[in-house]
Amino acid sequence: MKSKRTLLIRLAVVLVLIAIGAVMMVIGRGHTVYFDNVALDYNGTHYDALYKVTVYVKDKQVAKLYAKERGMATWIGQNFSMTLEVIETKGGDEEVHTIHVKLPYNMDGIVLNLPALLQGLPEEAYLKEFVSNVPEVPVEEEPGSSDEFDFGADF
């Protein structure tokens, strides 16, 4: 009694679900983005740090960086955008830049170098993966408490 039509529709629904899943995989991918206001040498030219940069992500102020400082923000999705209020040198006037960066899918933490970005240098200059150098403290708790009755589970 299963007519071909219902089978077809069922297939279509499954495909739709998988498609939604895939889309969610893409737009849901979360990254932690770090931005360094630090001097940089690239292809022989030297770019020094900016005097002061205030960073707005989704028009919420996230960080105010002086030279050699690092800010951080979390971002869901691949195309990251932020606005920077940059004061190049002490006493200089403020310029506003909105920057769009394509975040690589498989990197959890991403470090952006602000001066390189402002100069419009290629990606390999302003972007590198964040490697957590903090040693992972192996906290050894006994995994898998199968039968114990966990009291504290506030419900």
Partner 1 sequence: MKKKKTLRPEGNPIVRFIRNNTVPIMFVLICAVCIPLSGFSPSYLLNEIVTRMGRNIFLILCLLIPIMAGMGLNFGMTLGAMAGEIALIFVADWQIWGIPGVILAMILSIPFSILLGLLCGKLLNMSKGREMITSYIISFFINGLYQLVVLYMMGPIIPIKHFSIKLPRGYGIRNTVSLLNMRQVLDNALSVTIAGVKIPILTFAIIAVLCLFVTWFRKTKLGQDMRAVGQNMEVARAAGINVERTRLISIVISTVIAGFGMIIYLQNMGNLSTYSSHSQIGMFCIAALLVGGASVDKANIGNVFLGVILFHTMFIVAPSAGAKITGDSMIGEYFRVFISYGVITVALVMYEAKKRRAKSLAGHKLAQDQLTEDKEAAQ
Partner 2 sequence: MRNVKKDFYGNQVLSDINLTLQAGEVLGLCGENGAGKSTLMKILFGMDVIRETGGYSGDILFNGEKVNFASPFEALEAGIGMVHQEFSLIPGFTATENILLNREPQRRSVLSEVFGSRLNTLNYKEMQRRSAEAIEKLGVHIDADMVINDMPVGHKQFTEIARELSKDQLKLLILDEPTAVLTEKEAEALLDSIRNMSRRGIAVIFITHRLHEILSVCDRVVVMRDGRVVRDVPSGETNVMDITRWMVGRDVDAAAQNEARDLSNEPTILSIRNLWVDMPGEIVRNVNLDVKKGEILGIGGLAGQGKLGIPNGIMGLYEAGGTVIFDGKEIPLNNPRHCLEANLAFVSEDRRGVGLLLDESLEWNVAFPAMQIQGKCLKKLLGGLIKWRDEKAITDLTNKYIKELAIKCTSSKQKAKELSGGNQQKVCLAKAFALEPKFLFVSEPTRGIDVGAKALVLEALKRFNRENGVTVVMISSELEELRSICDRIAIVSGGKIAGILPATEPSEKFGELMVSGVR
Partner 3 sequence: MKKEPKDNNWSPSKLNDEMNSVLSTPEASPLQMAQMSPLRRLVASFGLPRLIITAFLLLMFIAAPFTGSDFWTQVSNTINRFSWNAVLVLAMVPMIHSGCGLNFGLPLGIISGLLGATMAIEFGFTGPVSFFMAIVISTPIAIVLGMGYGWLLNKIKGGEMMIATYVGFSSVSFMCMMWLLLPYKSPTMVWGYAGKGLRTTISLEGFYDKVLANFLQINIGTLSIPTGTILFFALLAFLMWAFLHTKTGTAMTALGSNPAFAKAAGINIDKTRMLSVVISTWLAAVGILVYQQGFGFIQLYMAPFYMALPAVSAILIGGASVNKASIANVVIGTFLFQGMVTMTPTVMNSIIQMDMSEVIRVIVSQGMILYALTRKTKGGNN
**Residue numbers of the site for partner 3 (CB under 8 A)?**
144, 146-149, 151
- Residue numbers of the site for partner 1 (CB under 8 A)? 17-18, 20-21, 23-25, 27-31, 74, 76, 108, 136, 138, 140-141, 143-146, 148-151, 153, 155
CB of residue 19 to partner 2, shortest distance in Å = 15
Which residue, 106 or 146, has its beta carbon nearer to partner 3?
A: 146
According to the binding rule CB under 8 A, does residue 27 interact with partner 2?
no
Rounded distance between C-alpha atoms, residue 94 and residue 100, angstroms: 19
Rounded distance between C-alpha atoms, residue 41 and residue 69, angstroms: 17
| Residue 78 contacts residue 58 (beta carbons within 8 Å) | no
According to the binding rule CB under 8 A, does residue 97 interact with partner 2?
no
According to the binding rule CB under 8 A, does residue 10 interact with partner 2?
yes
Rounded distance between C-alpha atoms, residue 86 and residue 109, angstroms: 24
| Residue 56 contacts residue 62 (beta carbons within 8 Å) | yes
Which residue, 13 or 19, has its beta carbon nearer to partner 2?
A: 13
Rounded distance between C-alpha atoms, residue 33 and residue 19, angstroms: 27
